[in-house]
């Protein structure tokens, strides 16, 4: 069961082939360094002093979340070294491309909702109108 949820490389390779690379609709954001030794159930607390009250406090999972945040920030700040890593664009560019693609898809769906009653029903369903 664990392999099913932790082995993303097989799915990545399959989607990469299907999309014919990450230049089109498929993007993979993958923090590849800094979390290798972190166990899936890692949830370490963080002891720190509250800057306002001065009292010590324990933040459940704080150390784990802090580590994930720091490693993710470093990943997102990657730039020119991406060519050596086999990526076609830095993560920050891939996020912008993904956001642009999502906005274009939404605009296209909204435009098609005005065409026919069937499309309007699909649009209302997509937007949660039935809820």
pLDDT tens digits, 20-76? 877 777 888 888 889 989 998 999 999 999 889 999 999 999 999 999 999 999 998
- Cβ 34 vs Cβ 23: under 8 Å: no
CA distance 93 to 89: 6
Position 115 scores a pLDDT of 60
Position 1 scores a pLDDT of 46
Position 114 scores a pLDDT of 62
| Paired strand residues for 46 | 59
Short-list 74, 77, 97, CA closest to 28: 97
3-state DSSP assignment of residue 56: strand
CA distance 21 to 89: 12
Position 85 scores a pLDDT of 57
Position 118 scores a pLDDT of 61
Q: Is the pLDDT assigned to residue 18 strictly greater than 50?
A: yes
């Amino acid at each position: 069961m664990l392999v099913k949820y932790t082995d993303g490389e097989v799915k990545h390779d399959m989607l990469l082939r299907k999309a014919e690379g990450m230049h089109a609709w498929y993007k993979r954001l993958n923090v590849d360094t800094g979390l290798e030794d972190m166990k899936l159930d890692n949830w370490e607390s963080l002891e720190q002093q509250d800057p306002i009250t001065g009292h010590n406090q324990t933040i459940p999972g704080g150390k784990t979340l802090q580590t994930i945040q720091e490693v993710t920030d470093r990943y997102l700040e990657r730039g020119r070294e991406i060519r050596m890593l086999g990526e076609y664009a830095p993560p920050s560019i891939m996020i912008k491309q993904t956001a642009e693609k999502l906005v274009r898809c939404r605009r296209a769906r909204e435009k098609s909702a005005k065409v026919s009653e069937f499309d309007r029903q699909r649009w209302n369903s997509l937007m949660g109108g039935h809820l």
